[in-house]
């Protein structure tokens, strides 16, 4: 009987609408002339009643006859962690208000709406096609997130990774990774509607839809998405109405096995101002963090970027950059861009000198941390030795002590690893660096004069 209903329905509405609103329906039973169908959510039921009641009537007339009755079974999801979905039966009615459950936003039910033919809208994914898996370098810092993303790209919605929540600090590749997933799916599934949206834009659209009384269009639009990518959800902290609305969209999509991918600058548990039920949704699939890239990954990223730009630089310069910038990938890219600009402005090769100067300027400009070069300059000047002395293998006392101080300050004032510090001091290994740091820190405890010197050096670094 339901198949005969579907025939009628399919003939009368656009494909996209059919897929969104009728394919997810499960026919449960036929009791005499009463057909019961299961729908994924309260909202779904309301949408059907609001928009398709005449069509459903027509379908029933055709499949059962005029006495045919429709009964809905709604999967109700209260949203608290652990609560089981339960099914309630709702008779077909034209007044969804009467069936309003507590957990539905009153605004959603109140707002009048007018059905638009969503198929006629241009479905833009808002993806940036330059973000791909091909140019995303894999490393320990992103392995879990990348492989989960890749699995999803091949089987959106049907892996256990739904939702996928990628979190991590700024510039570590969250946006790149989730867009790579989106691009992959879009390129390999023409029929899937992939949508990338920042959480901020989502909120703006939501607020506008309330202002213009078109909340239902807004909801309807999001409920048609096959792969929803929301970037930077931390922005929703404290935005109760947005959260509530997204909660409904989330449940609808998730119930219909649509893929949801989100990013955040911190772990779900640390998202203050986010409703518990939403936080628990975020953790329902897979949560993967991106961390700072290690030396090897930084080197690979630099090489890849240079290759993409078609420029060649010596390995020692690449090594220098990889050892000097360890904050995040965006910064690494910024330095490469500046380097290229400097090289073409001054019509010179990118060599170690240019790299040093560029890095120094960038870091001075951004008033960020101290560079290792500055540490070496300041220490060398103070002790009247040369930077070359600091990097040399010389065991002379005049060189050893300033060198140890410089290593100590490098550890204290920069974010560099022991390994990278060793690299900047003539390729010493990290145990030598540890020894130097230990020596100086012991000395400062017993020698107030040295402590003063160190403080003075620190302030001239700033
Ligand atoms: P986030 O969204 O975490 O702030 P982005 O995704 O915007 O970071 O990444 C910043 C820049 O670094 C982008 O240009 C991106 O292409 C690049 N990037 C980040 N991670 C990688 C990686 N693993 N391989 C290649 N490029 C990367
Ligand atoms: Mg981002």
Spans of all domains in the chain: 2-97, 143-289, 292-368, 372-462
DSSP for 363-416, written as a single string = HHHTT----HHHHHHHHHHHTT--HHHHHS----HHHHHHHHHHHHHHHHHS--
Q: How far is the CA of 253 from the centre of ligand 2 (A)?
A: 23
Instruction: Please give the backbone phi and psi of residue 204, each rounded to the nearest 5 degrees, phi first.
Output: -60, -45
Q: Which pLDDT band holds residue 112 (cuts at 50, 70, 90)?
A: very low
User: Does residue 358 surpass a pLDDT of 90?
Assistant: no
User: Does residue 441 surpass a pLDDT of 50?
Assistant: yes
pLDDT, tens only, 315-330: 999 999 999 888 889 9
The predicted pLDDT at position 108 comes to: 37
Strand extents, DSSP E, 77-163: 86-91
Cα–Cα distances (Å) from 324 to 129, 154, 255, 296, 377, in that order, read 30, 37, 47, 13, 15
pLDDT, tens only, 226-255: 999 999 999 999 999 999 999 999 999 999
Q: How far is the CA of 374 from the centre of ligand 1 (A)?
A: 28
Mean pLDDT of 279-283: 94
Residue with CA nearest ligand 1 atom 11:
330
Q: What residues does ligand 1 touch, defined as CB less than 6 Å away?
A: 135-137, 142, 168, 170-176, 301, 329-330, 333
Residue with CA nearest ligand 1 atom 5:
173
Residue with CA nearest ligand 1 atom 18:
173
Mean pLDDT of 354-372: 74
Which atom of ligand 1 sits closest to the CA of residue 293? Answer: 23
Which atom of ligand 1 sits closest to the CA of residue 141? Answer: 23
The ligand placed nearest to the CA atom of residue 174 is 1
User: Does residue 280 surpass a pLDDT of 90?
Assistant: yes
Of the candidates 185, 140, 135, the residue with the CA atom closest to the CA atom of residue 159? 185
Instruction: Please give the backbone phi and psi of residue 267, each rounded to the nearest 5 degrees, phi first.
Output: -65, 150
Which atom of ligand 1 sits closest to the CA of residue 138? Answer: 23
**Angle at Cα 377 formed by Cα 447 and Cα 329, nearest 5°?**
110
**Domain topology for 292-368:** Helicase, Ruva Protein; domain 3 (1.10.8)
> What is the average pLDDT score of the chain?
86
User: Does residue 84 surpass a pLDDT of 60?
Assistant: no
Of 47-61, 336-350, 438-452, give the range with the top mean pLDDT. Answer: 438-452
- Of 171, 262, 291, 302, the one to substitute when testing ligand 1's pocket (max ligand atoms within 8 A of C-beta) is 171
User: Does residue 440 surpass a pLDDT of 80?
Assistant: yes
Q: How far is the CA of 215 from the centre of ligand 2 (A)?
A: 27
The tokens describing 344, both together, are 């073409």
The predicted pLDDT at position 94 comes to: 41
- Of 330, 332, 335, the one to substitute when testing ligand 1's pocket (max ligand atoms within 8 A of C-beta) is 330
The predicted pLDDT at position 347 comes to: 84
**Domain topology for 143-289:** Rossmann fold (3.40.50)
Half-sphere exposure in the Cβ direction for 181 (13 Å, CA): 35
User: Does residue 31 surpass a pLDDT of 70?
Assistant: yes
Instruction: Please give the backbone phi and psi of residue 120, each rounded to the nearest 5 degrees, phi first.
Output: -80, -10
The predicted pLDDT at position 12 comes to: 86
Instruction: Please tell me the distance from the alpha carbon of residue 287 to that of residue 290, in angstroms, as a whole number.
Output: 10
Lowest-pLDDT range of 66-80, 95-109, 384-398: 95-109
Which atom of ligand 1 sits closest to the CA of residue 130? Answer: 16
The predicted pLDDT at position 419 comes to: 92
Q: Which pLDDT band holds residue 382 (cuts at 50, 70, 90)?
A: very high
Q: Which residues contact 179 (CB under 8 A, 6 or more apart)?
A: 127, 128, 131, 196, 229
Of the candidates 13, 234, 246, 45, the residue with the CA atom closest to the CA atom of residue 117? 13
- Of 173, 233, 307, 335, the one to substitute when testing ligand 1's pocket (max ligand atoms within 8 A of C-beta) is 173
Instruction: Please tell me the distance from the alpha carbon of residue 177 to that of residue 135, in angstroms, as a whole number.
Output: 10
Q: How far is the CA of 329 from the centre of ligand 1 (A)?
A: 6
**Domain topology for 372-462:** Chromosomal Replication Initiator Protein Dnaa; Chain: A; (1.10.1750)
Q: How far is the CA of 4 from the centre of ligand 2 (A)?
A: 48
Q: What superfamily would CATH give domain 2-97?
A: DnaA, N-terminal domain (3.30.300.180)
ipTM tops the 0.90 cut: yes
Q: How far is the CA of 169 from the centre of ligand 2 (A)?
A: 9
Of the candidates 206, 195, 215, 200, the residue with the CA atom closest to the CA atom of residue 259? 195
Contact between 236 and 203 under an 8 Å Cβ cutoff? The reply is: yes
- Please, what's the largest Cα pairwise distance for the chain? 103
Q: What percent of the chain has pLDDT over 70?
A: 88
If you ran DSSP here, which 8-state letter would residue 264 be given? Answer: E
Residue with CA nearest ligand 1 atom 4:
171
The predicted pLDDT at position 408 comes to: 95
Place of tokens 């009615």: 93
* Bridge pairing between strands 259-264 and 164-167: parallel
Instruction: Please tell me the distance from the alpha carbon of residue 447 to that of residue 145, in angstroms, as a whole number.
Output: 49
């Amino acid at each position: 009987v339901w198949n005969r209903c579907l025939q009628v329905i399919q003939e009368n509405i656009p494909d996209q609408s059919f897929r969104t609103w009728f394919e997810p329906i499960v026919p449960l039973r036929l009791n005499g002339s009463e057909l019961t169908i299961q729908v994924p959510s309260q909202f779904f039921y309301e949408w059907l009643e609001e928009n398709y009641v005449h069509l459903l009537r027509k379908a029933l007339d055709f499949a059962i006859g005029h006495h045919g009755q429709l009964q809905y079974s709604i999967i109700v999801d209260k949203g608290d962690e652990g609560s089981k979905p339960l099914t309630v039966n709702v008779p077909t009615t034209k007044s969804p208000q009467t069936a309003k459950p507590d957990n539905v936003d009153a605004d959603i039910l109140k707002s009048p709406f007018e059905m638009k033919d969503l198929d006629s809208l241009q479905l833009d994914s808002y993806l940036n096609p330059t973000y791909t898996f091909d140019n995303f370098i894999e490393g320990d810092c992103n392995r879990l997130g990348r492989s989960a993303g890749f699995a999803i790209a091949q089987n959106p919605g049907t892996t256990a990774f739904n939702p996928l929540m990628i979190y991590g600090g700024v510039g570590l590749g969250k946006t790149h990774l989730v867009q790579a997933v989106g691009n992959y799916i879009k390129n390999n599934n023409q029929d899937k509607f992939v949508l990338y949206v920042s959480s901020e834009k989502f909120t703006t659209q939501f607020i506008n839809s309330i202002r213009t009384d078109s909340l239902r269009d807004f909801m309807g639009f999001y409920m048609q998405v096959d792969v929803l990518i929301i970037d930077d959800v931390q922005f929703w902290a404290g935005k109760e109405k947005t959260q509530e609305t997204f909660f409904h969209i989330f449940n609808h999509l998730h119930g219909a096995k649509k893929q949801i991918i989100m990013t955040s600058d911190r772990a779900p548990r640390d998202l203050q101002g986010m409703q518990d039920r939403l936080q628990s949704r975020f953790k329902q699939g897979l949560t993967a963090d991106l961390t700072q890239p290690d030396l090897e990954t930084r080197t690979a990223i630099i090489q890849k970027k240079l290759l993409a730009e078609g420029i060649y630089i010596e390995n020692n310069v690449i090594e220098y950059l990889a050892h000097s910038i360890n904050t995040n990938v965006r910064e690494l890219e910024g330095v490469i861009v500046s380097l290229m600009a400097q090289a073409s402005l001054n019509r010179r090769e990118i060599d170690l000198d240019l790299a040093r100067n560029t890095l120094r300027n960038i870091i001075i400009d951004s008033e960020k941390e101290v560079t290792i070069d500055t540490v070496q300059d300041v220490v060398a000047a103070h002790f009247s030795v040369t930077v070359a002395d600091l990097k040399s293998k010389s065991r002379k006392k005049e060189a050893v002590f300033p060198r140890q101080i410089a290593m100590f300050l490098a550890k204290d004032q920069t974010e560099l690893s022991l390994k990278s510090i060793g690299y900047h001091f003539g390729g010493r290994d990290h145990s030598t660096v540890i020894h130097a740091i230990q020596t100086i820190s012991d000395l400062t405890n017993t020698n107030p004069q040295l402590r003063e010197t160190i403080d003075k050096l620190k302030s001239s670094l700033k």
